Amino acid sequence: MENGNQSIESRGRMSDEWGLTKELNLSDSDIGKKVYEIAEERTFVIKTQVVAKDDDEAFNKYLECSETRNCEGYNGKHNGFDIVSGAKEYSQHKGTTLIGTVKREDEEDDDSLLEVA
């Protein structure tokens, strides 16, 4: 424990499938506070337009194109001539979930480690 803060890594039990709670930096002033998880789902859609005589040629040109441009953090195929790409990001909040409450592992011991339970 440094400066009254404690990483939650040392706490005993927590059902956090992504392991995020071990990154929380808890202190005595957090005792009794609740910990919530907010989920957001993001989808990136990259569309590419290709000039070609048919769908086979379009797909082959798409596969063979090695030039790209940054489309919202992803590389979209783009040669600036007959293959161009663009992207959009869509996000949807999936809700807020109560994970637990910050407390001492042993509520009788003031030196006990903090946990989210």
**pLDDT tens string 38-60:** 889 989 888 999 999 999 999 99
List the chain domain ranges.
5-36+102-116, 41-90
**pTM of the full structure:** 0.55
CA-nearest of 72, 67, 65, 66 to 46 is 72
Say if residues 101 and 117 touch (Cβ distance below 8 Å).
yes
> pLDDT (tens digit, 9 = 90+) per residue, 53-79?
999 999 999 999 998 888 777 788 888
Contacts of residue 56, defined as CB under 8 A and 6 or more positions apart, other chains included, come to none
Whether the per-residue pLDDT at 15 is higher than 90: the answer is no
